[in-house]
């Protein structure tokens, strides 16, 4: 329906009925677009140079080697603004004073197994050689009198690329392709929100309407450039509007290094997820300022239990040994945990791609009939089965809510019956991480990287499974196929079978005690329950109590 406020202004409404929040999101994203599936490697740990720190190839290599020496997996390395020469942003040229051999450097970093990302924006400084070229060819936004629109706000005399001009898009894309040819894998598409309205667009668009839509065209241009080179492109985007979820991933911008800002980041991310964005990240430790060690370590736990995880700051590096040695252990612990969780996480990434449901979910999405969950904004569901409650205090105190059912603490195996409010104190290698009842949680065999064969060596963890059958589909790295496992519970018997070619897998019955027998494999009692290993050549296993 539409409403007219004046002869020249019309407001159009779309009413989307669910009736559940999940159904509303599915219908909304069917209308505005669903997220592309990011590559599996992008779910690993991103490490950045940060913004204003001094760095060159020796600095970058030293950081990477120091991470490796501490057994800290790094999967993506990001070069922030100063890979380009100051006051030339953006000219897409490596600063030759600090990077005399950029192609060689990128090749050396990629030989270490890293993916590489560089920072860009849609502004062209007057000092950049591209400014005169863009001005001469009509690639930049102009004032109504035809002059190039300029401002000194970010870079001296900067102009703004006009993405409504197809030739300007091709020009911008060509410079990105040069970087991709060098070995760059992804772009951090910063800015795009400082867009004036006293301008003229190539296609004659209304500049007021274009203010928000500009971010869509900017990120679409970069994303499509990547998609022409790889079936699984990924950007690290800041600005967005309705439909921008098609070009993941987005991050929360320049947050402060405080617990308050950490909580605000979560609140904003959950709101973004309810707006159709399937993937979301934030600067671990906060962007502005240098976080105290306590905040850094708590943010690491939160950041590695987010869809995408990046260590990034403004004036200081975010490597853990700059805080304390415990921070090194915390980062290792949660990075390895996320890598192990990848069979489950990537299945939820596929769900975001096909259904429009976010990986990090506000509680009301999973529990729409529980009125308590309607306002919870300091905890979330990671997918449909893992409840995460980050710690936002120096003392480690946290209060959170468990909805109805028997929940199991992932770390300790402790069970609690909900609905219940819980107040606890946690050490730094812990936070409230609870598994929902009637869950099959798939954990992978690798804790050092996010991109591997998720089904090979998988462990199916069974939590409070009711009588009957439950299935779990393990995706491939491309998302183009799955391996299905079926677990049955009848009386005192659990059985599991693989409906694929995988023969090296395990079944963990969490919290199960008592004597048992096993068919189709071997089993042992471990602190978390009974672990059954399928026998060689078998595709099923049965445990009887």
- In the annotation, is 254 catalytic? yes
Which single residue is written with the structure tokens 């996320």? Answer: 338
CA gap 15, 522 in Å, rounded: 55
ω into 249 cis (within 30 of 0)? yes
Q: How far apart are the first and last CA of the chain?
A: 61
Q: Which of 26, 91, 162, 190 is catalytic?
A: 190
ω into 502 cis (within 30 of 0)? no
CA gap 310, 389 in Å, rounded: 19
CA gap 390, 396 in Å, rounded: 10
Sequence-separated (6 or more) residues with CB below 8 Å from residue 146:
200
Sequence-separated (6 or more) residues with CB below 8 Å from residue 345:
43, 307, 338, 359, 382, 383
Q: Which of 57, 193, 256, 464 is catalytic?
A: 193
Q: CA separation (Å) from 181 to 107, 118, 178, 243, 317? A: 11, 13, 5, 29, 28
CA gap 282, 285 in Å, rounded: 9
3-state secondary structure at position 339: helix
Phi-psi region of 79 (alpha: psi -120 to 50; beta: other; left: phi over 0): beta
Q: Are 496 and 485 in contact (CB under 8 A)?
A: yes
- The DSSP 8-state label assigned to residue 148 in this structure reads B
Sequence-separated (6 or more) residues with CB below 8 Å from residue 63:
47, 317, 319
Q: Which of 254, 447, 464, 519 is catalytic?
A: 254
CA gap 211, 157 in Å, rounded: 20
Comparing CA positions, the residue from 105, 104, 102, 48 lying closest to residue 75 is 48
Query: Which uninterrupted H or E stretch holds 281?
Result: strand 280-281
- In the annotation, is 326 catalytic? no
Q: Are 455 and 474 in contact (CB under 8 A)?
A: yes
CA gap 376, 228 in Å, rounded: 41
**Residues in a beta bridge with 461:** 441, 508
Q: b or e along 291-315 (b: 16 or more beta carbons within 10 Å of the residue's beta carbon)?
A: bebbbbbbbbbbbbbbbbbbbbbbe
- Overall residue count recorded for the chain in this entry: 545
Comparing CA positions, the residue from 342, 352, 373 lying closest to residue 45 is 342
DSSP string over 431-479:
--EEEPSSEEEEE-S-SS-S-S-SSTT-EEEEESPPSEEEEEEEEPTTS
Catalytic residues: 190, 193, 254
């Amino acid at each position: 329906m539409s409403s007219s406020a004046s002869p020249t202004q019309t407001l159009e409404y779309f009413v989307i009925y669910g009736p559940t929040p999940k159904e509303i999101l599915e219908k909304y994203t069917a209308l505005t677009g669903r997220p592309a599936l990011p590559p599996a490697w992008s779910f690993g740990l991103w490490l950045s140079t940060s913004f204003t720190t001094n760095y060159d190839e020796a600095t970058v290599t030293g950081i990477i080697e120091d991470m490796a020496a501490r057994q800290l997996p790094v999967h993506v390395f990001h070069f922030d603004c100063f890979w380009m020469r100051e006051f030339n942003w953006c000219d897409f040229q490596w600063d030759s004073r600090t990077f005399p051999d950029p192609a060689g450097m990128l090749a050396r970093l990629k030989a270490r197994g890293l993916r590489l990302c560089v920072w860009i924006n849609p502004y062209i400084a007057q000092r950049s050689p591209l400014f005169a070229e863009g001005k001469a060819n009509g690639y930049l936004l102009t004032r109504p009198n035809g002059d190039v629109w300029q401002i000194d706000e970010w870079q001296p005399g900067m102009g703004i690329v006009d993405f409504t001009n197809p030739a300007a898009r091709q020009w911008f894309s060509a410079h990105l392709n040069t970087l991709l040819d060098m070995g760059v894998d992804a772009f951090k598409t910063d800015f795009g929100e400082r867009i004036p309205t006293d301008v003229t667009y190539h296609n004659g668009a209304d500049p007021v309407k274009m203010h928000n839509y500009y971010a869509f065209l900017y990120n679409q241009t970069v994303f499509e450039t990547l998609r022409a080179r790889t079936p699984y492109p990924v950007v690290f985007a800041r600005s967005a509007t309705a439909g921008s979820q098609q070009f993941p991933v987005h991050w929360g911008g320049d947050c402060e290094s405080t617990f308050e800002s950490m909580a605000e980041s979560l609140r904003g991310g959950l709101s973004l997820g309810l707006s159709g964005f399937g993937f979301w990240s934030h600067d671990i430790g906060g962007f502005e300022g240098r976080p105290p060690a306590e905040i850094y370590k708590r943010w690491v736990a939160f950041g590695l239990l987010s869809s995408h995880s990046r260590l990034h700051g403004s004036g200081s590096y975010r490597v853990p040994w700059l805080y304390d040695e415990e921070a090194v252990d915390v980062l290792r612990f949660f990075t390895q945990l996320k890598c192990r969780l990848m069979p489950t996480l990537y299945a939820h990434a596929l769900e975001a791609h096909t259904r429009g449901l976010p990986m990090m979910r506000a509680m009301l999405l999973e529990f729409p009939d529980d009125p308590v969950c309607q306002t919870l904004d300091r905890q979330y569901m990671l997918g449909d089965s893992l409840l995460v409650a980050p710690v936002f205090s120096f003392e480690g105190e946290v209060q959170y809510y468990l909805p109805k059912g028997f929940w199991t603490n992932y770390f300790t195996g402790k069970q609690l019956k909900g609905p219940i409010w819980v107040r606890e104190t946690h050490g730094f290698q812990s936070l409230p991480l609870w598994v929902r009842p009637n869950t099959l949680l798939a954990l992978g065999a690798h804790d050092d990287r996010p991109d591997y064969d998720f089904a090979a060596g998988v462990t199916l963890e069974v939590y409070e499974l009711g009588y009957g059958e439950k299935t779990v589909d393990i995706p491939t790295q491309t998302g183009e196929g799955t391996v299905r496992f079926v677990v049955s519970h009848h009386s005192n018997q659990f059985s599991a079978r693989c409906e694929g070619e995988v023969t090296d897998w395990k079944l963990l019955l969490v919290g199960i005690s008592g004597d048992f027998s096993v068919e189709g494999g071997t089993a042992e009692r471990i602190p978390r329950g009974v672990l059954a290993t399928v026998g060689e050549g078998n595709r099923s296993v049965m445990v009887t109590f």
